[in-house]
Structure formats: C-alpha cells, structure tokens
Amino acid sequence: MAERTRRQFLKEAVVLGGSALLVVGCSESLDVTQGVSVELLLPEALRAPGGHYEITDPSILAQFGERRTIFLYRSSESSVIAVSTRCTHQGCRVVFSSMSQEFSCPCHGARFQANGKVIRGSAKRDLFRYRATLLGDTVRIES
C-alpha cells in the first residue's frame, strides 16, 4: 500500500512538473500586486467614448507591480476598461491601434481586443484586467 502511494505520488509529481515547465516556457506570470487602489483625474483623452490613455508614471505603475503600462479605454459613456500592456505570452509590451481598436504584440504576433481578450496567439490568456470605475471627474483603478 505504501509503495502504491509512493508510485502514485511520483506519477502526480511528473504530471505537475510537466505542467510547471509548460507554464514557465509559454506564459508570462501575472504578479500584479493585489489590493491596490489609485484614483486619477480623468485625462482629457478619456472624456468621450472611444478615447484612450496610457498610464506611464513609474510611481503609479510601481504600486501595482506593473512591469509595462496600464492602458485605459473609454468603452462607453459610463465605463472605462483598464488593462496591462504586458503580453501574457512572454511579457512584451503590446501596442494599441486606434484604427483596428486592437492590441498587437510586436514579438510573436498575438492580438487582443481593446478589453484585453485574446484574438490570436501566441498568447493563450487575456491581458490582465484591472477594475476601473468612473467617478465624475476621476477614474479609480484597482487591482
């Protein structure tokens, strides 16, 4: 019985080890600091739907543990979307196109919708999405 348990353990360890290697090799870790809340004056670019703005201030990004930038997109009169520009494949900085309203990754060609959802690999996961709330003349970003 003890031998069977040990065999089972080793079998599971091999499976877990394989999964871990897969994660390390193909996916950027999401290590955003949880529980952070920052409120910003609403940038001019976000005053109308379709507008976008990128948070590049290192002191704000450091609070979230963000290694790229935080992209804000005014998706409607009443809502803003906030996503990390760190590609979930291997961490390159994705770039937003106003023409296509999509992000593209210059490293291996992944594409994402403005809300961060994957359209095309190499990335398999959506961009990290922060909570964003419009509060009159300010916007609150939370992790």
Q: Does 127 sit near ligand FES (CB under 6 A)?
A: no
Please identify which residue in 27, 107, 117, 140 interacts with ligand FES, judged by CB under 6 A.
107
Please identify which residue in 75, 122, 125, 134 interacts with ligand FES, judged by CB under 6 A.
122
The minimum distance between CB 123 and ligand FES, in angstroms, equals: 5
Query: For ligand FES, which stretch binds (CB under 6 A), given 33-41, 57-65, 72-80, 101-109?
Result: 101-109
Closest to ligand FES by CB, 63 or 113: 113
Q: Does 139 sit near ligand FES (CB under 6 A)?
A: no
Query: For ligand FES, which stretch binds (CB under 6 A), given 8-16, 31-39, 54-62, 86-94?
Result: 86-94
Q: Does 110 sit near ligand FES (CB under 6 A)?
A: yes
Which residue is associated with the tokens 């994660």?
23
Number of Cβ within a 10 Å radius of residue 6: 10
Q: How far is CA 142 from the centre of its chain?
A: 13
Distance CA 83, CA 41 (A): 18
Q: Does 108 sit near ligand FES (CB under 6 A)?
A: yes
What does 85-104 look like in DSSP terms, one character per residue? Answer: -B-TTT-PBPEEETTTTEEE
Q: Which two tokens stand for residue 30?
A: 């999401």
Please identify which residue in 70, 80, 83, 87 interacts with ligand FES, judged by CB under 6 A.
87
Please identify which residue in 80, 105, 118, 139 interacts with ligand FES, judged by CB under 6 A.
105
* Nearby residues of 141 by Cβ (< 8 Å), 6 or more positions away: 37, 38, 39, 40, 55, 64, 70, 72, 82, 130, 131, 132
